[in-house]
Amino acid sequence: MKYQIGKPKRIIVVRFEDRDDVLNGLASIARKEDIRAGVFCLVGGMREGSIVVGPEKDEIPPKPVWKGLGESHEVVGLGTIFWEGEEPKIHFHGAFGKKDMVKVGCLREKSETFLVLEAVIIEIEGVDAVREFDPVSGLTLLKL
């Protein structure tokens, strides 16, 4: 285990509107505001989304299992912002619910708001963590 200690800096409140791209929007804010390290929470609705719900088997490198939302879902979850090279990388895990069905997973690729989605971003000061490609896992992982 490795860790660093930081403290809260700026807090940014975001309102995504119908059909906004959530992942690209968060990356855009991180770029514009130069947020190098942060944590965020999301609450609201998503119209479209592609989520990874785990690996097919417990092996490395993992082969992801993909699920699509395909229609409006309620969403709540938590994510992080750290940079890989010159680009911010967004990592978000959430619960996505519709009627009596709930999916939990890592949101990737498609991420379209339904009606409204709120985000609260807390920038972290004093942490120099980055994301780097790990050839063993085939994933971009946090490096401290």
Q: What is the pLDDT of residue 109?
A: 87
Q: What is the CATH number of domain 12-143?
A: 3.30.1330.80
Q: What's the mean pLDDT in 48-68?
A: 93
Q: What is the pLDDT of residue 22?
A: 97
Domains of the chain, by residue range, sit at: 12-143
Residue 111: phi and psi, rounded to 5, are -160, 80
pLDDT > 90: percent of the chain: 97
Residue 43 carries which side chain, given as an amino acid letter? Answer: V
Residue 52 near residue 66 (C-beta atoms within 8 A): yes
As a whole number, the mean pLDDT across the chain is 96
Instruction: Provide the 3-class DSSP secondary structure of residue 101.
Output: strand
Burial 15-50 (b: 16+ CB within 10 A, else e): ebeeebebbebbbebbeeeebbbbebebebbbbbbb
Grade residue 9 by pLDDT with cuts at 50, 70 and 90. very high
Q: What is the pLDDT of residue 44?
A: 98
Q: What's the mean pLDDT in 11-31?
A: 98
